[in-house]
Amino acid sequence: MLWTKSLETGVAKIDEQHKELFRQVDILVDRSQADRIEKTLEFLKSYVAKHFADEEYLQKINNYPKAEAHKKLHVDFTKTFKELYDKYKTAGDRKLTVVLSINSAVIGWLKDHIMVHDKEFATYYLAKNQARK
């Protein structure tokens, strides 16, 4: 999963976290690193929770009017990821198939979420914080 400038929101903390998410998803995509899949999934599970909490905190302290709707997107994704993770843990010799499903779900969701919802928040955040200067 390739990070491109088009995915940047302009909010440094969010962009750095997004880049790390992309690096970790690349490990899942790279079959030569199969021995790291479980560790990567564990990392993603905790890192996504931290990233979402950070984003939601920024939205809250900046009175973002769409904060609740944005949080619901995070809750829905967390639920989907957990379901896929649980499926992976019980997949036995079908784990690679589940990893492919996880890759597809994570990549598609991340790109859409960043390009639409995170950029929308970033525009609000940057405008609000420019006005304070």
CA pair distance 2, 14, nearest whole angstrom: 17
Domains and CATH numbers, the chain: 13-131 (1.20.120.50)
Mean pLDDT of all residues in 122-132? 87
Q: Is 8 exposed, middle or buried (0-12, 13-18, 19+ CB in 10 A)?
A: middle
Report the pLDDT value the prediction gives residue 27, as an integer from 0 to 100: 76
More confident residue, 36 or 87: 87
CA pair distance 3, 8, nearest whole angstrom: 9
pLDDT (tens digit, 9 = 90+) per residue, 81-118? Answer: 899 889 988 988 888 888 888 888 888 888 899 999 99
Report the pLDDT value the prediction gives residue 77, as an integer from 0 to 100: 93
Q: Which residue carries 């198939």 as its tokens?
A: 97
Whole-structure pTM value: 0.81
What is the Cα 50 distance to its own chain's centre?
10
